[in-house]
Amino acid sequence: MKKPELLVTPIDLANMRELIEAGADAFVIGEQRYGLRLAGEFNKDQVKEAIELAHEHNKKVYVAMNALFHNEKIDELTQYLIFLNEAKADAVIFGDPAVLMVAKEVAPTMKLHWNAETTVTNYYTCNYWGRKGAKRAVLARELNMDSIIEMKENAEVELEVQVHGMTCMFQSKRSLIGNYFDYQGKAMKVEKAQEKAMILHDKERSNKYPIFQDENGTHIMSPNDMCIIDELEEMIDAEVDSFKIDGVLQTSQYIVEATKRYRQAIDLCVDNREEYEDVKENLLAELEEFQQEHRPLDTGFFFKETVY
């Protein structure tokens, strides 16, 4: 049986070294000028060092270029893609067709992973981008398990599914936190959480939404973290290609601990299904111990109908 790739998002090079030891197979890195909602910022020198480190251990590095680009950034894409090609990045993650078009011109052998967040919802669209040059599609987080399995049965490209971490509920190119204070301050309050993060507290629903701003605008994240460490069987049996742990707004230690447990879960689910059934609830309980109190774990949309 095929083992899915375990894909993680390191905060920095030191964290990446820890994640290699923890059992990660591949990494998503980049800088916010080109990539969305990254766990950490990697400049060009760090990207190059990360690729060299990964390849020394037979791991892969995918560089995020999945922002939506306005005209003023188009000229930068050529040089950045040339750099990534020369640095031997294993793939580039894109959502904007501009990246694909430039890559065909300056880095025609570069592998491309299509990640347009919420729009990757059917296998026809995955195959459309596959025929344009993408080797992988990153599925929308709002899909249930039956939809994912059906897509894998019909897709002509690799499929990547997020199995752990928070998801983005809303993004705006505008700087909305200032407007929030002006117009919503009386209804809700914003709490400082981390250097880049704040929390939108909705008392009526007892939810706390992480919110942060970067060069790409304002991002409001889900109140819960998805976790399906105890529900991997169907997707492994369907041979989904990649399972992603998203570590955005988490500590380096949290990402390491999550990676260790998903490594164990994947290996057991493939190699010893009976033992996996015995330990999966314990693995879930261990992850729950690391959760922030205001962010419970749930199964996202995996067992729900999508509601827009």
First to last CA, the chain: 35
Please tell me the predicted confidence (pLDDT) of residue 193. Answer: 41
Please tell me the predicted confidence (pLDDT) of residue 191. Answer: 45
Q: State the pairing for strand pair 158-165/242-245.
A: parallel
> Is the dihedral angle over the CA atoms 303, 230, 36, 197 positive or is it negative?
positive
> Of 241, 240, 268, 245, which Cα lies nearest the Cα of 258?
245
Task: Return d(Cα 274, Cα 3) in angstroms, integer.
Answer: 16
Please enumerate, as own/partner, the contacts of 288-297 that have beta carbons within 8 Å and a separation of 24 or more: 290/254, 290/257, 290/258, 291/225, 294/199, 294/208, 295/166, 295/208, 295/223, 295/224, 295/225, 296/224, 296/225, 297/224, 297/225, 297/226, 297/227
Please tell me the predicted confidence (pLDDT) of residue 192. Answer: 42
Please tell me the predicted confidence (pLDDT) of residue 159. Answer: 97
> Of 124, 153, 209, 169, which Cα lies nearest the Cα of 307?
169
Query: Are 38 and 30 within 8 A, CB to CB?
Result: yes
Q: Which residues of the chain form CATH 3.20.20.70?
A: 5-167+223-298
Task: Return d(Cα 21, Cα 26) in angstroms, integer.
Answer: 12
Task: Return d(Cα 66, Cα 114) in angstroms, integer.
Answer: 8
Task: Return d(Cα 24, Cα 142) in angstroms, integer.
Answer: 24
Helix 273-290 vs helix 252-271: crossing angle, to nearest 10: 170
Please tell me the predicted confidence (pLDDT) of residue 230. Answer: 94
Q: Which CATH superfamily is domain 5-167+223-298 in?
A: Aldolase class I (3.20.20.70)
pLDDT tens column, 95-105: 999 999 999 99
Please tell me the predicted confidence (pLDDT) of residue 188. Answer: 46
Please tell me the predicted confidence (pLDDT) of residue 34. Answer: 93
CA of residue 245 relative to chain centroid, distance: 6
Q: Which residues 6+ apart lie within 8 Å of 28 measured at CB? A: 7, 8, 9, 38, 39, 62, 63, 64, 93, 244
Number of other CB atoms surrounding residue 94 within 10 Å = 30
Q: State the pairing for strand pair 225-227/136-138.
A: unpaired
Q: What are the distances in angstroms from CA 190 to CA 170, 175, 194, 213?
A: 16, 15, 12, 13
- What residue ranges of the chain have pLDDT lower than 50? 186-195, 307-308
Q: 133's torsion region: left (phi>0), alpha (psi -120 to 50) or beta? A: left
Please tell me the predicted confidence (pLDDT) of residue 80. Answer: 97
